Amino acid sequence: MKIKLCGLTRPEDIKCANRLNPDYIGFVFAKKSKRYVSPDNAFKLKELLLPKIKVVGVFVNEDIRNVAILLNSNIIDIAQLHGDEDETYIKKLRILTDKPIIKAFKIKTRDDLPGVKNSSADYILLDSGSGSGNVFDWDLIKSIDRPFFLAGGLNPENVEEAIRTVKPFAIDVSSGIETDGFKDETKMSDFVSTARNVSKRIG
């Protein structure tokens, strides 16, 4: 099982990530987000990151050309589309880059599932909302038969239950490892160690 620590904004966040060695870290490029980082700052932060950790860029209805530039310049390795981007958007982005794409879906009812199953994105991410920090009803996604990132309200206290319940391809956390709006090294460490321990136990 993979681990993604999202919404990193400071050099000290990167230093902690290097120590914990998650599979992915995330930079948020949505300007309305309190976790927003500029492309220049993202470039500086990535220079501090261990090369084996993949960088995901989170976008909300961003101009396709801007997403492609960040991918093709290797500031990010994967694009995560967290807005209203549809299949046409994904197809156009693929023309501009060969880098992987994650499409995020807000899961509120079973009516949200057909789009999830039919998405042409390389990966899908299931969430309760755009950085809402809330857990959604995991029973809704038990019929999903493709690998997915699980997000939405995860933290060191509930990540074991989440893994045991839905057995995701990857878990994605942001606000659940923060204190007063900033990444908390202790919470980051607790989240990663708990996730890895339960993943090993359940195989």
* Ordered per-residue pLDDT tens for the chain, 203 residues: 999 999 999 999 999 999 999 999 999 999 999 999 999 999 999 999 999 999 999 999 999 999 999 999 999 999 999 999 999 999 999 999 999 999 999 988 888 888 888 899 999 999 886 555 568 888 888 888 889 999 999 999 999 999 999 999 999 999 999 999 999 999 999 999 999 999 888 86
Catalytic residue among 112, 127, 145, 184: 127
Q: Is 6 a catalytic residue?
A: yes
Catalytic residue among 6, 13, 16, 172: 6
Homologous superfamily in CATH for domain 2-202: Aldolase class I (3.20.20.70)
Domain ranges, ordered by start, for the chain: 2-202
Name the pTM for this structure.
Answer: 0.94
- Report residue 136 as tokens: 């959604």
- Report residue 46 as tokens: 């990535």
Q: Is 16 a catalytic residue?
A: no
